[in-house]
Chain A
Amino acid sequence: MALKESGSAALSATHSVLVRVAAVLALIAIWQLLVLARLWPPAVLPGPGQVWDQLLAASDSGNGQGGYAGSTVLERLGVSLRRVGYGTAYGVLVGVGLGLVMGLVPVVRAVVEPFVTFLRALPPLAYLSLLVIWFGIDEEPKVYLLLVAAFPPVAVATATAVTGVNRQYLEAAHALGANRLGVITTVVLPASAPEILTGIRLAVGIAYSSVVAAETVNGADGIGGMVLNAQRYNQTAVVLLGLVVIGVTGLLIDTALLALQRAVSPWRGRA
């Protein structure tokens, strides 16, 4: 018999998607109202309609400039998503591995945590220069920048989750004859999965919001590159288009991760 929770604190999956969609629609409505109020000239604050026109223009590869400055919005999005994908994937690997060791070995945590916190406090643009000196101006510095931005929240979330695993489960596992590796793979990691996924959601968000910074270096082919280019030529509508595309895809990715989190830990709050 399934237990029905009354007055559950969390929204159901469908509800949370609906709420997100409603929030986006509300934002667009407010934006349109601000434009209609004519507080600023259209060159400073273009309306949703203008940005939509830009989207259509920049998506048309046959418009004589291959979309916008050589690539369509979709191509640019693909390039940026690939960078974010690699950056966060490596960041998650490093973060989960490091966080696991930090959580299991208190000494390691005491030594490593200040460095992780230090890195976390740095804005990505601040260490970009260093990465460019070390790795040149190809893909590496961009992916490494996103890695460095992505791994600290994953490491901290993993370490905290691992330290917080219910001791009763660990003892039950030992009582059943589990060895250290068995306890880690069968108890510690699954028990920590919900918190680790929260860390990953944070990491994807941070990496994604750092993509513009990463693409200031030879990244004109990405969505961040488009924003930087448009800024140079005062194309406000294109800048806004870039922001909207980054924002909306970021929201979609986070929604997918949230669904994944619910799927892998249906037991959360129940046991």
Chain B
Amino acid sequence: MGEPLVELTGVAHSYRANRVDVPALGPLDLRVEPGEFLVVVGPSGSGKSTLLRLVSGFERPTTGAVEVLGGPPVPGRDVGTVFQQPRLFPWQSVAGNITTALRWAGVPGADRPQRTRGLLAQVGLVELGRRRTWEISGGQQQRVAIARALAARPRLLLMDEPFAALDALTRERLQEDVRSLTDGERAVVFVTHSVDEAVFLASRVVVLSDRPGRVALDLPVPLPRSGVPADELRGSAEFAALRGEVAGAVRAVAA
């Protein structure tokens, strides 16, 4: 393996609330390699969002070091982020949101229309570019948010429970699309509290313990990443076994 994309060394984080430090995460060590699809599972309040905020650079660790691509992370430079809510700008059209992201990513003006179309096509929404953001469904909004986060072609994509607010059917369809995002060099760190979602998406699952979250399980998921239909994969014996193992760990930390 070469250089890790993300390296957390002895990282712990506390928030200051009412004059006391409340530990939220760690201490923990974690490396993410290029091409990995790391899914972090943990009970609510175990510090999953905190972990992503540390990696994206929105938060500095109380102790320890966070390195992304060999240095401390700067928000909006090396990392793309998809939040639980799509956070699209409602004063811009669907395509406008993506064009803005391309502008902020430094893409020259002449290239933006074509790149915008390409990104919309990638998430299957070419026809909806002119729509207002509230005129498309929640699942489509989250697709636009993903396209927007990919505008800068980030080596690392962070996703914080992006499908939690969607209905089961929409969620499964989006999972199938997101699974292939690690094609090539890109790594994804995806947070969820759904065990099924974790095992389906991940090339590796990390289970966090209850607050402050530490690594309770670090499990490679050797399921095939292409060539097998999603339903077949979800119904396979290997899938069931891995799901059992992760669910066991989640139950143990919640107890």
**Across the interface, do A186 and B58 meet the contact criterion of CB distance under 8 Å?**
no
Is there contact, CB below 8 Å, between B152 and A265? Answer: no
Instruction: Please determine whether A187 and B77 come into contact, CB atoms closer than 8 angstroms.
Output: no
Q: How many A-B contacts at CB < 8 Å in the complex? A: 73
Q: Is the CB of A186 within 8 A of B134?
A: no
Least CB separation from A265: chain B residue: B91
Q: Can you list 25 contacts pairing A with B, beta carbon distance less than 8 Å? A: A1-B136, A3-B135, A168-B83, A168-B87, A169-B87, A171-B83, A172-B83, A172-B89, A174-B75, A175-B75, A175-B81, A175-B149, A176-B104, A176-B148, A177-B76, A177-B104, A177-B152, A179-B104, A186-B100, A190-B89, A191-B91, A265-B91, A267-B132, A267-B133, A270-B90
In the complex, which residues 101-160 of chain B have their Cβ closer than 8 Å to any Cβ of chain A? Answer: 101, 103-106, 132-137, 148-149, 151-152
* B141 to A, closest residue via Cβ: A271
Over the window 188-205 of chain A, the binary record of Cβ atoms lying under 8 Å from chain B Cβ atoms (1 yes, 0 no) is 001101000000000000
Which B residue sits closest to A266, measured CB to CB?
A: B132
Name the residue of chain B whose CB is nearest to the CB of A171.
Answer: B58
CB-defined contacts of A182 to chain B, threshold 8 Å: 103-104
**Is residue A220 within 8 Å, beta carbon to beta carbon, of the partner chain?**
no
**B244 → A minimal CB distance (Å):** 36
> Do A176 and B134 form a contact, CB below 8 Å, given A168-B87, A182-B104, A187-B89?
no
Minimum distance in angstroms from A181 CB to a CB of chain B: 11
Once A176-B152, A177-B76, A265-B91 are accepted as A-B contacts, the answer to whether A271 and B100 lie under 8 Å apart by CB is no
Is A104 an interface residue when CB atoms closer than 8 A count as contact?
no
How far is B83's CA from A1's CA once the two chains are assembled, in angstroms? 24
CB-based contact B87/A172 at 8 Å: yes
Asked whether any CB of chain B lies closer than 8 Å to the CB of A2, the reply is: yes
Q: Tell me, in angstroms, the Cα distance from A224 to B151 when the chains sit together.
A: 57
* Chain B residue nearest to A271 in the complex (CB): B90
Bound: A176/B151 CA distance, A: 9
- In chain B between 3 and 34, which residues have their CB closer than 8 angstroms to a CB of chain A? none
List, in ascending order, chain B residues with CB within 8 A of A94's CB: none
Residue A253 CB within 8 A of the other chain: no
Name the distance in Å between A236's Cβ and chain B's nearest Cβ: 49
Other A-B pairs, 19, CB within 8 Å; known A173-B104, A182-B103: A1-B135, A3-B134, A168-B85, A171-B87, A172-B87, A172-B89, A174-B75, A175-B81, A175-B149, A176-B151, A177-B105, A179-B104, A187-B89, A191-B91, A266-B132, A267-B134, A270-B90, A271-B88, A271-B90
CB-defined contacts of A174 to chain B, threshold 8 Å: 58, 75-76
**Contacting residues, chain B, for A1 (C-beta < 8 A):** 135-137
A36-72 interface with B by 8 A CB criterion: none
- B56, CB-defined interface residue at 8 Å: yes
Give the distance to chain A from B187, nearest Cβ to Cβ, in Å. 17
Q: Is the CB of A178 within 8 A of B58?
A: no
Q: Which residues of B contact A178 (CB under 8 A)?
A: 76, 104
Assuming the A-B contacts A176-B104, A193-B91, A265-B91, are A271 and B133 also in contact, with contact meaning beta carbons closer than 8 angstroms in the complex? yes
Q: Within the assembled complex, what's the spacing in Å between the Cα atoms of A67 and B91?
A: 48
- Which residues of chain B come closer than 8 Å to A177, judged between CB atoms? 75-77, 104-106, 152
The 3 closest A-B pairs by CB, nearest first: A177-B76, A271-B90, A267-B90
CB distance from B188 to the nearest CB of A (A): 15
Given contacts A172-B83, A176-B101, A176-B104, whether A267 and B76 have CB atoms under 8 Å apart is no
Q: Which residue of B lies closest to A170 (CB)?
A: B87
Residues of A near B148 (CB, < 8 A) are: 176
Interface residues of B in 46-89 (CB under 8 A from A): 56, 58, 75-77, 79-81, 83, 85, 87-89
B76 touches A2 (CB 8 A): no
**Once bound together, how far apart are the Cα atoms of A2 and B133, in whole Å?**
10
Closest to B85 in A: A168
Smallest CB–CB gap between A191 and chain B, Å? 7
Question: In the assembly, what is the distance between CA of A190 and CA of B77, in Å?
Answer: 24
The chain B residue sitting closest to A178, CB to CB, is: B104
Instruction: Report Cα–Cα, A179/B100, bound state, in Å.
Output: 12
Q: Enumerate chain B residues within 8 angstroms of A172, measured Cβ to Cβ.
A: 81, 83, 87, 89
Q: Which of A2, A172, A179, A267 is most buried by chain B, counting CB atoms within 10 A of its CB?
A: A172
- Give the most central of A3, A169, A175, A186: most B CB within 10 Å: A175
| Contact assessment for B134 and A175 in the assembled complex, using a CB-CB cutoff below 8 Å | no
**Does the CB pair B77–A267 fall under 8 Å?**
no
Chain A, 215-271, CB within 8 A of any chain B CB? 265-267, 270-271
* B133 engages A175 (CB within 8 Å): no
Residues in B whose Cβ lies below 8 Å from that of A169: 87, 89
